[in-house]
Chains A and B, each alone.
Chain A
Amino acid sequence: MPSWPAETKYISHSTARVDGAAKVTGKARYSSDIQATGWLYGMILRSKWPAAKITDINLEKALKVPGIRAAVLARGKEFTVRYYGEEIAAVAGTSKQACLDALRAIEVTAQPLPFVVNEADAKKADAPRVWENSPNYKEPNARDRGDVNTAFGQCAAVIEGFYSTPVQIHNPMETMGNTISWTDDGLTAWSSTQGISSVRDGLAGSLKLEHSKVRVITEYMGGGFGAKFGSGVEGALAANLSREAKAPVRLMLTRFDQALAVGNRPSSFQKIKLGAAADGTLLAFEMDNYGTAGIGGGGDAGGGGGGADIPAPYLYKVANSRVKQSAVAVNAGSARAFRAPGNPPASYGIESAMDDLAVKLGMDPVEFRLKNDPSKIRQREYALGVEKFGWKQKYQKPGSSPGVVKTGIGCAGAAWPAGGASKNTHGEAQINPDGTIEFRLGVQDIGTGTRTVIAVVAAEMLGLKPEQITVKVGDTRFPPGPGSGGSTTCPSISPTVFDICTKALQQLQTQTGIADARGENWFAACKKLGVNSLTVPGQWIEGLSSNPAGGVQFAEVEVDTETGLVTVKKILGVHDCGLIVNQLTLESQINGGIIMGMGYALYEERVMDDLSGVMLNPNFETYKLPGIADVPDIEVVLINMPERGVIGIGEPATVPTAGAIANAIANAIGVRVSSLPITPAKILAALGKVPPATA
């Protein structure tokens, strides 16, 4: 069995991003920066109706707009649109303004249909149907374990709560999109994607092209979080526009487009009943949950599904449980995989219920968790966190903080049960006689530092410095690699680079006679290659990676009980992910996860309007995201476990933040705000300060 080196110079230490300078100087070319020769702008016409029967689309006037080179239909001229923002047609032209003018010149004949955009309304039997032939909501079957009714009778304390989470919109820094050039020779797509291989397969499939005729390139891209595995409707439209216009077409979505049609995290409405014995042992759990995945999950859900179900009772061992789950369709954009699908809402719901029950039992929330969480690693993390955070010194009874601005603390746990590695990860290294070495892997960097991880592992294995390693990723012409999702990238590529390096050293020994080509012998060995470079392939091997990862987070907040403003003062994250490859980029990923979790806790929410059926906040003005002034002191504590091999961290980092913040708020003000986001309006309402409406 292979094993990672025990003594390391780079692995588990901190190396700055090898492409950091390129990124901050603007030298790095993101997908949205690509300017292929003769390129055109592409733009999409979207439905302004939440539901309508389209009976005709006329592109003639659009094609006459000066500068317009092509116009194509998304799905023919007759079809039903089922949400505000669904794609109808697309145009390509020489300027953004030409495209905007052309979109307004497209004539669409449509009959508006009844619609429903709100979950509770959509559940009603007489609600307009999103899909004609099936009800919006199907009564779920119960999944039973043990005897939940008897068990509740034996509990010393039982709580019932209704915890809800909103639809969260995918808003990576770089929106979705591609530049696509489609000629008789084949198709090249410069995609903002987290899966160059899946985009290639998707484009080849939908356009009926051979895989060998499609090349996907992603040099740099600005975030995916689960939304960017496929080429999407916008990819197919860009390809068709390119074919039609005989020119490359850059079709990047606007922020408005991004909010409507390319994925989101489903909502959840969790009715939870939880009971425990007097010593704190959980005895019974019951949950009835539903949420919406819009018109349906599915489309481009690769890497984790986009359904509305959540894991329950999540981290905790409960002998008796009954779980009912279902989804309700509404006239709104579909769900997609979103960083740790299902887990953040699950964590928020159960962790809120856990704290509510701890209060009723008169137990310390951490003690209560230690009693019921079977994970040995999380037990260790709670112990570490309690110490670092000063939990025992800071903890006060809910609502007992004096004054108008009250402080509180809370905690929550995370698991990421999926993860692991993609076994079909390949790569190669080209070693040149002058000692330069280039790694080529058909993986892509979604911003987590993939190039740096490859350089760090290679430098460690070869006794070189990370800056001496050239790394090329993001091209389907390289040996195939995994999609960057499910927290699998690092555990897929690290063993692959290990394998390439091991084989390279063996081959150098065979060819040059130098027994150990590492470190100071490297250049001498390479020189002995003579005039020919050496190309060494490798692939993922067993024994160097594993799963799952987890963690716990602690939050400290201040709540102004007169204005409702929540200030997060501190978040401590204690996380494990096996062998730490590069500490700096790992911490950065956890920082990002925590900030994203903060947005989920306090600010983010898709607002759909019942009257008009449109989304009211498809922008960063009223779809609120954390800004730098909102971000607290974040401390990350890592448990390095080399014996477990490499494990991904992307998803667990964001899972427990909302639950920890929600619990800290409840601890501060003494009452529970049981729906996210926890806004000042909801805080004031929970405190009983809001008068009834009079108008």
Chain B
Amino acid sequence: MKAFQYATAHSTDSARQLVADKGAYLAGGNDLLGLLKEYLISADTLVNIKSLPGLNKIEDGRKAWTIGALVTVAQIENHADIKKTFPGLHEAAADVASLQIRNVATLGGNLAQHSRCWYFRQRDVKCLKKHGDLCYARNSENRYHSLFTGNDCISPVVSSLATTFAALDATAIVLRDGKELRWSMAELYAEAWKNPYAHNSLQPTDLILRVEIPTTRTRSAYMQASDKHAFDWALVSCAAAADMVDGRLKSPRVALGSISPVPHQSEAANSFLEGKVLNDATATQAADLILKDAKPLEHNAYKMPMAHALVRRTLLKLKGDA
């Protein structure tokens, strides 16, 4: 990697100033250091934000919970009350990478991580995402790529926490130029939907501060399908969340990950599920709706039946023992 300055910020203001034009925020570093080592990005200053006050807390509230951006994935996984209140979030956190990575990976970093497309990560390939002419994946090895996209790049979002937050209708609070922006997961990744060069909607100096999760949905579940049993990316991930009133779904939401540059949601599927009793038939119809208009490619069409199965299973998991 190229030489860089290192500084520790003790306030968000100083973090913003230190990062200036060409710096980068450093928390867990899992993604950032990999990008730097492969010369995929460069930064003249790494600003350690691990000492920023107040961002490493998990706070419960009657209407919403708040998880700070510096909370590690392992802390989310091991938090007993999160497991009770948002079981889907616990399950998603537990499936992230390996224990060693979860111990240092932060919530903010997980949401802000860049594409894992193997062309993007290949040091000697200049693909569309790296401002080259061509999305190689679209025309060649696309087994890990998207079924949906709004641009020519088919690299999917891989944050499984984002998938779950989408189902829980969580809000990311992002600091931009001293102001707090409140973004849905759809908004957090909207730029990647339309812009092949973007990984998310964050600008280099934007800082994710925390995520707020409303408690309206009392049930949630997460499942992923991978090639291996652990320490492997999801080929498809799925999260569902809802409240249950008299055995019927209230405010249901389903989201799929690793098949689109944004956590994939369908208004049609969510509205269809509203007020429904969960069973094989309703879960299947929801799965059909959420995958409608997918555009499978030569090597990733297997994600269609896989996603369909995950939607059904994840929804049925919401029933729990009840």
Residues of A within 8 A of B (CB): 48, 84, 97, 100, 104, 562-565, 567, 602-603, 607, 609-612, 614, 616-617, 621-622, 624, 626-630, 679-681, 684-685, 689-695
Closest-CB distance, B231 to chain A (whole angstroms): 5
Neighbour of B301 across the interface among A621, A679, A692, CB < 8 A: A692
A97-B1, A612-B125 are known contacts; what are 4 more A-B pairs with Cβ within 8 Å? Answer: A562-B305, A563-B309, A627-B228, A629-B230
Neighbour of B229 across the interface among A564, A627, A681, CB < 8 A: A627
List B267-307 residues whose CB lies under 8 Å from chain A. Answer: 295-299, 301-302, 304-306
Contact present for A679 and B122 (CB under 8 Å): no
Is B119 on the interface with A (CB-CB < 8 A)? yes
Contact present for B226 and A565 (CB under 8 Å): yes
Known: A48-B124, A611-B139, A614-B122. A629 touches B229 (CB 8 A): yes
Give Cα A151 to B299, complex, Å.
40
Is B141 on the interface with A (CB-CB < 8 A)? yes
- Which residue of A has the minimal Cβ distance to B236? A563
Contact present for B228 and A630 (CB under 8 Å): yes
Neighbour of B297 across the interface among A567, A616, A684, A695, CB < 8 A: A695
Neighbour of B227 across the interface among A603, A616, A689, CB < 8 A: A603
Known: A611-B136, A614-B125. A691 touches B304 (CB 8 A): yes
**From DSSP, what is the main secondary structure of chain A's interface residues?**
loop
Give Cα A626 to B227, complex, Å.
10
Neighbour of A694 across the interface among B122, B134, B295, CB < 8 A: B295
Neighbour of A690 across the interface among B139, B144, B304, B310, CB < 8 A: B304
- Which residue of A has the minimal Cβ distance to B3? A97
Is B225 on the interface with A (CB-CB < 8 A)? yes
Contact present for B306 and A691 (CB under 8 Å): no
Give Cα A689 to B231, complex, Å.
26
Contact present for B235 and A84 (CB under 8 Å): no
List B113-164 residues whose CB lies under 8 Å from chain A. Answer: 116, 118-119, 121-122, 124-125, 134, 136, 138-141, 143-144
Contact present for A603 and B118 (CB under 8 Å): no
Neighbour of B119 across the interface among A564, A616, A695, CB < 8 A: A616
List B304-319 residues whose CB lies under 8 Å from chain A. Answer: 304-306, 309-310, 313
Is B81 on the interface with A (CB-CB < 8 A)? no
Closest-CB distance, B32 to chain A (whole angstroms): 16
Contact present for A695 and B296 (CB under 8 Å): yes
Q: Which residues of B contact A685 (CB under 8 A)?
A: 302
Q: Which residues of A contact B295 (CB under 8 A)?
A: 694-695
Contact present for B305 and A611 (CB under 8 Å): no
In the A-B complex, the 3 residue pairs with the closest CB atoms? A562-B309, A629-B230, A695-B295
Known: A563-B309, A612-B136, A617-B118. A680 touches B302 (CB 8 A): yes
Q: Which residues of A contact B310 (CB under 8 A)?
A: 563
- Which residue of A has the minimal Cβ distance to B309? A562
Q: Which residues of A contact B143 (CB under 8 A)?
A: 681
Q: Which residues of A contact B122 (CB under 8 A)?
A: 612, 614, 616
Is B232 on the interface with A (CB-CB < 8 A)? yes
Q: Which residues of A contact B138 (CB under 8 A)?
A: 695
Contact present for B232 and A611 (CB under 8 Å): no
Q: List 30 A-B contacts (CB under 8 A).
A: A48-B124, A84-B124, A97-B1, A97-B3, A104-B39, A562-B306, A563-B310, A565-B229, A609-B141, A611-B140, A612-B136, A617-B118, A621-B116, A624-B228, A627-B229, A627-B231, A630-B230, A679-B227, A680-B227, A680-B235, A680-B302, A680-B306, A681-B299, A684-B302, A684-B306, A690-B302, A693-B296, A695-B138, A695-B295, A695-B297
Give Cα A626 to B134, complex, Å.
33
Give Cα A332 to B57, complex, Å.
50
Give Cα A626 to B1, complex, Å.
30
Contact present for A609 and B140 (CB under 8 Å): yes
Neighbour of B141 across the interface among A607, A680, A690, CB < 8 A: A607
- Which residue of A has the minimal Cβ distance to B291? A691
Contact present for A563 and B306 (CB under 8 Å): yes
Closest-CB distance, B116 to chain A (whole angstroms): 8
Known: A609-B141, A614-B124, A617-B118. A690 touches B227 (CB 8 A): no
- Which residue of B has the minimal Cβ distance to A619? B121
Q: Which residues of B contact A691 (CB under 8 A)?
A: 296, 301, 304-305
Give Cα A616 to B119, complex, Å.
7
Q: Which residues of A contact B125 (CB under 8 A)?
A: 609, 612, 614
Contact present for B136 and A609 (CB under 8 Å): yes
Q: Which residues of B contact A628 (CB under 8 A)?
A: 230
Binary A-proximity of B206-234 (CB < 8 A = 1, otherwise 0): 00000000000000000001111111110
Q: Which residues of A contact B297 (CB under 8 A)?
A: 693, 695
Contact present for B141 and A689 (CB under 8 Å): no
Q: Which residues of A contact B305 (CB under 8 A)?
A: 562, 684, 689-691
Output the residue of B39, B125, B229 with the most chain A CB within 10 A: B229
Q: Which residues of B contact A692 (CB under 8 A)?
A: 296, 301
Give Cα A564 to B310, complex, Å.
12
Closest-CB distance, A617 to chain B (whole angstroms): 6
Give Cα A681 to B307, complex, Å.
12
Give Cα A628 to B229, complex, Å.
9
- Which residue of B has the minimal Cβ distance to A48? B124
Give Cα A32 to B111, complex, Å.
37
List B33-47 residues whose CB lies under 8 Å from chain A. Answer: 39
Neighbour of A564 across the interface among B231, B301, B306, CB < 8 A: B306
List B1-31 residues whose CB lies under 8 Å from chain A. Answer: 1, 3
- Which residue of A has the minimal Cβ distance to B37? A100
Give Cα A614 to B140, complex, Å.
12
Q: Which residues of B contact A614 (CB under 8 A)?
A: 122, 124-125
Q: Which residues of B contact A612 (CB under 8 A)?
A: 119, 122, 124-125, 136, 140
Closest-CB distance, B233 to chain A (whole angstroms): 8
- Which residue of B has the minimal Cβ distance to A617? B118
Known: A612-B136, A614-B125. A624 touches B141 (CB 8 A): no
Give Cα A694 to B232, complex, Å.
27
Give Cα A680 to B144, complex, Å.
12
Give Cα A684 to B227, complex, Å.
12
Give Cα A475 to B107, complex, Å.
51
Q: Which residues of A contact B124 (CB under 8 A)?
A: 48, 84, 612, 614
Closest-CB distance, A607 to chain B (whole angstroms): 6
Q: Which residues of A contact B298 (CB under 8 A)?
A: 693
Contact present for B228 and A693 (CB under 8 Å): no
- Which residue of A has the minimal Cβ distance to B304? A691
Give Cα A681 to B302, complex, Å.
5
Output the residue of A616, A693, A695 with the most chain B CB within 10 A: A695
Closest-CB distance, B111 to chain A (whole angstroms): 20
Q: Which residues of B contact A681 (CB under 8 A)?
A: 143, 235, 299, 302
Give Cα A100 to B2, complex, Å.
9
